[in-house]
Structure 1
Amino acid sequence: MNDLDLVPFTEESGSYGPGTPGRHRRKAERSSGKTLVALLVVVAVLGGIVLGGWYGVNKVRDFFTADDYPGPGSGEVTIEITQGQNVTDIGNTLYKADVVASAKAFVNAAEENPDATTGLQPGSYTLKKQMKAADALAMLLDRENRKLGPSVTIPEGLTVKEILPRLSKKTGIPLPEFEAAAKDPVALGVPEWGGPSPDKRVLEGFLYPSTYEFNDKTTATSLLKQMVALSVQAATRDELAQKATELGVSEWDLMIIASLIEQEGIEPDFGKVSRVIYNRLNETGALSYLQFDSTTQYWLIITGKGRKAIVTDAELKDPDNNYSTHVDRRQGLPPTPIGNPGDAALKAAANPEPGNWTYFVVTSEDGRSAFTNDYNTHLANIEKCREVGRC
């Protein structure tokens, strides 16, 4: 009751004691002071919340956005991308040279551009200062802007056995050094999934086709590591991994399928070749065998017999040929990739074109194939293949 100022009248004092109107006035005056203080405290707290919220919102905004120049930039600056740099490293290099307003803007641009996965290559590039990050990325991806030193180009589809001598000849590094390095796929960066099992990894399939610069510090191991790193990067992109899961194949299977596509067709037909492979993998009986001559071609190469224009029936049925995918030999995929696929073949392996085809054969001089699911039509197409000298 005292707290509420409800003290009763007392006859002894002839007053309302502590509860007299005069006391009320004094209490009201003290209350007014307390109210003012409380009001100031509330204002301060609310002000702090508002300021804190404003600061927090700005901090969150800064976290999710990145400074970027509007472009187009001016002047010239030479940028050096070195072996082993990732996108963030490159972004920092560009930021320090005032090419981009922030490294994060460059990283964001790279994340939105699928070509950045494998397109950023070591070398010297001429760019402008204060460029929009996406424009700077485009210039780095444009091979015309790359100043090449001594380099070696590895085309799509070659095998390890064919690639190593080419690397040796171009770089001047003795072939035995490449052959020694190639014996240890794990040390070169081939991932755990890069083989029939983690303890049986192979290098085949992981020497990414591209142009590679070298200098007097380049070693066989460093060059092969670079090739493997690019291959793994290309084969493990999120969109490919997701598609592989949807198709029910592993990363290892995807690499093998890509190598088959690279050998069996030309790029305009890659999607259809891919579909034939998946259709046959899901078939029964004779159609469950791929019946690809290219797998035996690979066996001929790795056993020292070399590539042949036409594989013979005896070679297809050779009991020592564990890469033959013809009837009564090996069902399904070959044991390893049969070469080193490029980006287009990898994408096709993850994105087979819709269709019911189970047969195909080259029917034109430019390498295009005819596809069908009818055996008699396929026999007619084989005759066309012979007419153009491709069978």
Structure 2
Amino acid sequence: MRLPRLRSLFRAALTALALLLVLGAGLAFYAQQRLEAFAARPVVGPEGATLVVPRGASFAQILAALRGAGIEAGHDLEWKALAWRCDALRRLKAGEYALAPNASPEAVLRQMVEGRVITYRFTLVEGWSMRELRAAIARDPVLVDDIAGLDDAALMAELGRAGVPAEGRFLPETYLFTRGDRASRLLGRAADAMDRALAEAWEGREDGLPIRSPEELLVLASIIEKETGKAEERPEIAGVFVRRLRLGMRLQTDPTVIYGLGEAFDGNLRRRDLETDTPFNTYTRHGLPPTPIAMPGRAALEAAARPLPGDTLYFVSRGDGSHVFSRTYDEHRAAVRRYQLGGR
């Protein structure tokens, strides 16, 4: 009697186990299908939604940020299961993300794993002064302005360039950055870029230039940048200045005088300004000013290094950004009367 009963119990147990296995397999299949459907289903959120993932955020905090961004998709357990399947739980990168319309949860996670964050642009404009650069940084709504409390000397020390004048030391280009980036970091990149561009220009310079160092080349390039209204004239303007330096003539260029006036300049350059001596007044002093007066671009650096040959020593603006170049002072005076004095 005992053996048949044991066999019956054993068969019942096997049947129950088989049912549990079938049920488990069914549940696993159902869960897998539901996870696959969740992974591919477009998330629902506001158009143009962005997600900011702080550094060191936990997965729970990231999910809370998703909800805060207006994203409604699935349960937290589904997000965690999907992140585990994608091996994303500990690989999500900090940053600001644009959530594309109709993106799936899996696409959102992969975006964060790959660190495809929103990038912003900051353009340093050719001819800007440090004052204009600082004002542009202060206006930028995303870039962290960590230089506002630093004067130029402290800024350059912060960038590892103590004793180097800040004016002209940042290469005009468009730089990409992400939310949370500091202005000092961006300027460090711009200073490194200027170092490389200046070294290239100095290495490729014309023989016999009256320029003794890369720093003097930078100063000359900054003057060329401020005097140039049409890009194609840079080499010719450079040629005029180089010939004047060779002959010992004063450069007599208005932008240096204006720079020396600083905030006192009211937009109207007067004769008394030209006659008032400052370290930057090239009407009263020979040679180059002590520092650059603006940020020169690559083209201005190249023009300073390889000026256009010729015999012109003067130029005057036509009023449309272009210039008339003259060989003699008499020719120059005639051009001034025509274009600056209305023929008088």
Matched AA of 1:188: L
Post-superposition offset of 1:323: 0.9
Q: Which amino acid is the alignment partner of residue 311 of structure 1?
A: L
Distance 1:179 1:259 in 2: 26
Within the candidate set 225, 234, 242, 2:197 is matched to 234
Map of 1:356 onto structure 2: 311
**Who is 1:70 aligned against?**
none
Report the AA paired with residue 264 of structure 2.
K
Match 1:386 to one of 337, 340, 343: 340
Contact between 2:119 and 2:176, CA under 8 Å: does it hold in 1? yes
Query: What is the match of residue 215 of structure 1?
Result: 178
Equivalenced residue count is 224
Alpha-carbon distance in structure 1 between the residues aligned to 2:175 and 2:265: 25
Please state how far the C-alpha of 1:231 moved relative to its aligned partner: 0.9
* Aligned-pair CA distance for 1:227: 1.1
Alpha-carbon distance between aligned partners in 1 of 2:122 and 2:140, rounded to the nearest angstrom:
6
Distance in 1 (CA, whole Å) between partners of 2:329 and 2:243 is: 15
Q: Could you tell me which of 287, 291, 294 is aligned with 2:252?
A: 291
Tell me the residue number matched to 1:224. Answer: 187
C-alpha contact 1:164 1:179 (8 A) present in aligned 2: no
Task: Go from structure 1 to structure 2 and tell me whether the alpha carbon gap of 1:352 and 1:219 turns closer, same or farther (over 3 Å shift).
Answer: same
Contact 2:168/2:222, CA 8 A, preserved across alignment: yes
Shift of 1:240: 3.3
1:255 to 218, 231, 237: 218
The question of whether the paired residues in 2 share the 8 Å contact of 1:204 and 1:337 is answered with: yes
Match of 2:153 in 1: 183
Q: Is contact 2:142-2:179 (8 Å) kept?
A: no
Query: What is the CA distance between 1:220 and its match in structure 2?
Result: 2.4
Matched with 2:276 is 318
Kept after mapping to 2: 8 A contact 1:189/1:229: no
Once the two structures are superposed, residues 92-117 of structure 1 have per-residue CA deviations (whole angstroms, 9 ceiling, x without a partner) of xxxxxxxxxxxxxxxxxxxxxxxxxx
> When the two structures are superposed, what TM-score results if normalisation uses the length of structure 2?
0.60
Q: Give SS of 1:236's match.
A: helix
Q: Alpha carbons of 1:248 and 1:322: their partners in 2 closer, same or farther (altered >3 Å)? A: closer
Write the letter of the residue equivalent to 1:375.
Y
1:186, 1:245 → 2: CA distance?
A: 34
Aligned to 2:327: 373
Which fold has the larger relative contact order, with Cα–Cα distance below 8 Å and residues 6 or more apart in sequence?
A: 2
**Rg larger in structure:** 1
Give the whole-Å Cα distance in 2 for the aligned partners of 1:361 and 1:318: 22
Q: So what's the TM-score if we normalise by structure 1?
A: 0.53
Instruction: In structure 2, list runs of 5 or more residues that go unmatched.
Output: 1-116
The change in CA–CA distance for 1:289 and 1:211 in structure 2 (over 3 A counts) is same
For residues 195 and 304 of structure 2, the distance between their equivalents in structure 1, rounded to whole angstroms, comes to: 15
Question: How big is the shift at 1:254?
Answer: 0.5
Give the letter for the 1:167 counterpart: I
Note the C-alpha offset of 1:166.
0.2
Q: CA RMSD in A?
A: 2.5
1:201 maps to which residue? 164
**For the structure 1 residues 212 and 182, does the alpha-carbon distance in structure 2 shift closer, same or farther, using more than 3 Å as the test?**
farther
Q: Is the Cα–Cα contact under 8 Å of residues 362 and 369 in structure 1 kept in the other structure?
A: yes
246-255 vs 157-166, which deviates more? Answer: 246-255
